């Protein structure tokens, strides 16, 4: 994989986001508009990565048991003894706040005869197994066992019967875990990503809405629906007048990447050019003949007007710092992705996505949408999770407002993509060389994490 400095000829013609934001009244700062183009190793993705049980088992062993992954938010562990059960691909972890305030993650299994220590999130003073009562302190040391004289192995070395741990790292108010004792430090894994997010201050945000929906597709099918703007006109035609999908920025930085779609500017694929007032009306969902709810002068653009209105809205939380924020940060769709499965939207959009297999299934996933929102004053409690089953509609999640319709449109494709993948006679999918760069990037990383390691292990090499 290589980065290229002169990729313009590879993308659809038209003004790109990197140039568009220079025309804003307040341009996006230089470090946030640096081009980091990605040349994929291959523009073909093996179909078996979505359909094969064997590939899923490899992901479980070489990806999910090895990689840094978001388990919860710090706010989900507000007090000593608060814990979250984090399930991933058949494995389960207990993420808990200990007495010294630190966060620890344990394999969620009793060391006696294996019962899961906890079945659901909660709060406790110690981890007591419901089967025979073995008990561990919050710091993982063994506190109590019944019929002591009957367990000489434990009596010989109590310390060996601590709860096994996964590593823990935090960033932006998110708690990440890594089950691999030999994992690279979390900071190295993230690289300079925190620098991008520094001013957006994800620590001081709270989970305002949290919806988890089961979908009949592989977790990557769901995730890849949010990796590119190429599907905008086909899937979300209502947004085409105000989202410049083909002008998107696509950048890759090691373990994280981003795709930024400009807003307040139309898609190049529209057959007619909408007026600036039309663009505003579509963005704000204003019907024919109705007044625009925000000030708009014919001398300005829709983009300028939307940025000015957003700046005033955010002033309540950001104070005068709102004047330092660029227009692009207020209006554009900054979709960041952290390998393998987290999408924290950047800037002042509050959307966060996470994608996981549903239990240990390779053909179903859980797709979560959160609104992670700034607040002023006291931190509000995080929203409880609204769980939507396989056949539930996103429109039940009224807390997602207009995003629920967008999710419904995206999900409509997902189960059909999975069905198509299971019947196609082709062995590989195609990805475009610019707009679908994030799909290719993740598959290149999966090749490194899963395929190469599995091949090494099969060949008797040192890979684990
Ligand atoms: S299985 Fe947990 S105490 Fe026996
Ligand atoms: Fe979409």
- The backbone torsions φ and ψ at residue 21, rounded to the nearest 5 degrees and listed phi first, read -70, -15
**1, pLDDT greater than 50:** no
Atom index in ligand 1 nearest the CA of residue 145 equals 3
What pLDDT, on the 0 to 100 scale, is given for residue 289? Answer: 79
Average pLDDT over residues 119-147: 98
Tens digit of each residue's pLDDT (9 = 90 or more) over 354-400:
999 999 999 999 999 999 999 989 999 999 999 999 999 999 999 99
Cis preceding-peptide flag for 340 (omega within 30 of 0): yes
| CATH class of the domain at 70-182 | mainly beta
Average pLDDT over residues 261-265: 89
* HEC string for the chain: CEEECCCHHHCCCCCCHHHHHHHCCCCCCHHHCCCCEEECCCCEEECHHHHCHHHHHHHHHHHHCCCCEEEEEHHHCCCCCEEEEEEECCEEEEEEECCCCCEEEEECCCCCCCCCCCCCCEECCCEECCCCCCEECCCCCEEECCCHHHCHHHHHCHHHHCCCEEEEEEECCEEEEECCCCCCCHHHHHCCHHHHHHHHCCCCEEEEEEEEEEECCCHHHHHHCCCCCCCHHHHCHHHCCCECHHHCEEEEECCEEEEEECECCCCCCCCCCCCHHHHHHHHCCCCCCCCCCCCCCCCCCHHHHHHHHHHHHHHHHHHHHHHHCCHHHHHCEEEEEECCCEEEECCCCCEEEEEEECCCCCCCEEEEEEEEEECCCCCCCCCCCEEECCCCCHHHCHHHCCHHHHHHHHHHHHHHHHHHHHHCCCCEEECCCCCCHHHHHHHHHHHHHHHHHHHHHHCCCCCC
Of 253, 206, 266, 239, nearest in space to 20 by CA: 266
How many Å lie between the centroid of ligand 1 and the Cα of residue 135? 9
How many Å lie between the centroid of ligand 2 and the Cα of residue 357? 20
Tens digit of each residue's pLDDT (9 = 90 or more) over 17-41:
999 999 999 999 998 999 999 999 8
What pLDDT, on the 0 to 100 scale, is given for residue 64? Answer: 98
User: Distance between CA atoms of 73 and 209, rounded to whole angstroms?
Assistant: 13
Cβ of 115 closer than 6 Å to ligand 1, yes or no, is yes
How many Å lie between the centroid of ligand 1 and the Cα of residue 152? 16
What pLDDT, on the 0 to 100 scale, is given for residue 13? Answer: 65
- Binned at pLDDT 50, 70 and 90, residue 12 comes out as low
Cβ of 53 closer than 6 Å to ligand 1, yes or no, is no
Average pLDDT over residues 125-146: 98
- Binned at pLDDT 50, 70 and 90, residue 10 comes out as low
For the chain, which residues make up each domain, given as ranges? 2-53+204-457, 70-182
**73, pLDDT greater than 60:** yes
How many Å lie between the centroid of ligand 1 and the Cα of residue 108? 12
Cβ of 112 closer than 6 Å to ligand 1, yes or no, is yes
CATH dotted code for 2-53+204-457: 3.90.380
What pLDDT, on the 0 to 100 scale, is given for residue 464? Answer: 37
How many Å lie between the centroid of ligand 1 and the Cα of residue 93? 17
Cβ of 129 closer than 6 Å to ligand 1, yes or no, is yes
Share of the chain above pLDDT 90, in %: 77
- Alpha carbon of residue 434 to chain centroid: 21
List C-alpha distances in Å: 83 to 103, 145, 289, 430. 9, 22, 53, 42
Tens digit of each residue's pLDDT (9 = 90 or more) over 145-172:
999 899 999 999 999 999 999 999 999 9
Q: Position of tokens 């994490």? A: 449
Q: Describe the crossing of helices 302-318 and 276-283 by its angle, rounded to 10 degrees.
A: 40
Average pLDDT over residues 416-421: 98
For the record, the structure tokens of 316 come out as 């309540």
Buried b (16+ CB within 10 A) or exposed e, 95-104: bbbbeeeebb
**Overall pTM > 0.85:** yes
**4, pLDDT greater than 80:** no
CB atoms within 10 A of CB 218: 29
What pLDDT, on the 0 to 100 scale, is given for residue 463? Answer: 38
Of 228, 266, 260, 226, nearest in space to 244 by CA: 266
- Yes or no: say if 390 and 364 are a contact pair by the CB < 8 Å rule: yes
Cβ of 144 closer than 6 Å to ligand 1, yes or no, is no
What pLDDT, on the 0 to 100 scale, is given for residue 11? Answer: 59
How many Å lie between the centroid of ligand 1 and the Cα of residue 100? 27
User: Distance between CA atoms of 268 and 290, rounded to whole angstroms?
Assistant: 27
Share of the chain above pLDDT 70, in %: 96
**95, pLDDT greater than 80:** yes
**67, pLDDT greater than 90:** yes
What pLDDT, on the 0 to 100 scale, is given for residue 3? Answer: 43
What pLDDT, on the 0 to 100 scale, is given for residue 311? Answer: 95
Of 100, 98, 119, nearest in space to 162 by CA: 98
Q: Choose the residue to mutate in 106, 132, 150 for probing ligand 1, maximizing ligand atoms within 8 Å of C-beta.
A: 132
**Which residue minimizes the CA distance to atom 1 of ligand 1?**
113
Q: What mean pLDDT value characterizes the chain?
A: 92
Radius of gyration of the chain from Cα atoms? 24
- Yes or no: say if 247 and 265 are a contact pair by the CB < 8 Å rule: yes
More confident residue, 339 or 233: 339
**462, pLDDT greater than 80:** no
Cβ of 111 closer than 6 Å to ligand 1, yes or no, is no
Tens digit of each residue's pLDDT (9 = 90 or more) over 265-316:
888 777 778 888 888 788 877 877 788 887 777 777 888 988 999 999 999 8
Taking phi over 0 as left and psi of -120 to 50 as alpha, with beta for the rest, 460 belongs to: left
């Amino acid at each position: 994989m290589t980065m290229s400095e002169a990729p313009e000829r590879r993308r659809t013609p038209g003004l790109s986001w990197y140039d568009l934001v220079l025309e804003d009244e307040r341009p996006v700062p230089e470090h946030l508009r640096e081009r980091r183009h990605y040349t994929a190793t291959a523009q073909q993705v093996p179909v078996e990565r979505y359909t094969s049980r064997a590939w899923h088992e490899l992901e479980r062993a070489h990806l999910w048991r090895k990689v840094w992954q978001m388990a919860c938010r710090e706010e989900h562990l507000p007090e000593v003894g608060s814990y979250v059960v984090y399930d991933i691909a058949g494995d389960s972890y207990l993420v808990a706040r200990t007495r010294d305030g630190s966060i620890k993650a344990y394999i969620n299994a009793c060391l006696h005869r294996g019962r899961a220590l906890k079945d659901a999130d909660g709060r406790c003073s110690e981890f007591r197994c419901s089967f025979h009562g073995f008990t561990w302190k919050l710091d993982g040391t063994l506190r109590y066992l019944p019929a002591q004289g009957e367990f000489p192995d434990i009596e010989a070395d109590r310390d060996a019967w601590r709860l096994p741990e996964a590593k823990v790292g935090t960033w932006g108010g998110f708690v990440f875990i890594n089950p691999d004792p030999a994992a690279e430090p979390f900071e190295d894994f993230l690289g300079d990503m925190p620098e991008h997010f520094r001013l957006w201050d994800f620590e001081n945000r709270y989970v305002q809405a949290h919806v988890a929906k089961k979908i009949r597709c592989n977790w990557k099918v769901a995730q890849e629906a949010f990796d590119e703007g190429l599907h905008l006109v086909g899937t979300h035609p209502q947004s085409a007048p105000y989202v410049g999908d083909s002008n998107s920025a696509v950048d890759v930085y090691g373990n994280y990447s981003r795709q930024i779609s400009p807003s307040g500017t139309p898609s190049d694929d529209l057959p007619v050019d909408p007026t600036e007032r039309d663009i505003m009306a579509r963005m704000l969902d204003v019907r024919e003949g109705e007044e625009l709810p925000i000030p708009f002068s014919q001398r300005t653009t829709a983009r300028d007007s939307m940025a000015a209105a957003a700046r005033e809205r955010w002033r309540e939380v950001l104070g005068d710092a709102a004047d330092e924020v660029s227009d692009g940060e207020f209006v554009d769709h900054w979709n960041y992705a952290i390998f393998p499965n987290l999408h924290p939207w950047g800037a002042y959009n509050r959307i966060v996505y996470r994608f996981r297999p549903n239990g240990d299934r390779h053909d179903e996933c859980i797709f979560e949408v959160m609104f992670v929102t700034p607040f002023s004053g006291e931190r509000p409690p995080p929203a409880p999770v609204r769980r939507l089953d396989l056949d539930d509609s996103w429109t039940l999640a009224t807390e997602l407002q207009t995003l629920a319709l967008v999710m419904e449109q995206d999900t409509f494709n997902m189960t059909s993509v999975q069905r198509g993948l299971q019947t196609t006679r082709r062995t590989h999918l195609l990805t475009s060389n610019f707009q679908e760069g994030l799909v290719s990037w993740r598959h290149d990383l999966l090749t490194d994490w899963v395929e190469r390691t599995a091949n090494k292990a099969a060949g008797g090499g040192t890979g684990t």
